[in-house]
Amino acid sequence: MLEASTLERLLKSDRTITALGLAAIALLACYYTIMVASMSAGGMSGTASQMAMPQDHSWSRADFLLMFVMWMVMMVAMMLPSNPPITPVRKCED
């Protein structure tokens, strides 16, 4: 028999894929937090006021895309834990 390729073995490992996905989301969240914190105009009070008060400009495609991604991640985070995998019940034979 031929040995499975590295990619096939990686794709068969559900835990690896899940861990890589969680790490990617965590890194993106850290990057976004640093990006928002660096946009301060005059210290942290400027950033806080920008986050509290909506801006007066139209949304760009990037604004829409970031908001959509944030919404999708939030929905998955809220809905996925309420849908655990169903395991079949084994009958006990006495």
Residue whose C-alpha is closest to residue 25's, from 62, 69, 68: 69
Domain count, the chain: 1
Q: Is the pTM of this model over 0.75?
A: no
d(CA 58, CA 61): 10
For residue 24, what are the domain limits?
7-53
Per-residue pLDDT of 35-92, as tens digits, reads 776 765 555 555 555 555 566 678 788 888 888 988 998 888 888 777 666 666 666 6
- Considering Cα of 35, then 37, then 40, then 42, what sign does the dihedral take? negative
> Is the residue at 46 inside a domain?
yes
> Is the residue at 72 inside a domain?
no
> Is residue 36 within 8 Å of residue 42, measured between CB atoms?
no
d(CA 91, CA 94): 10
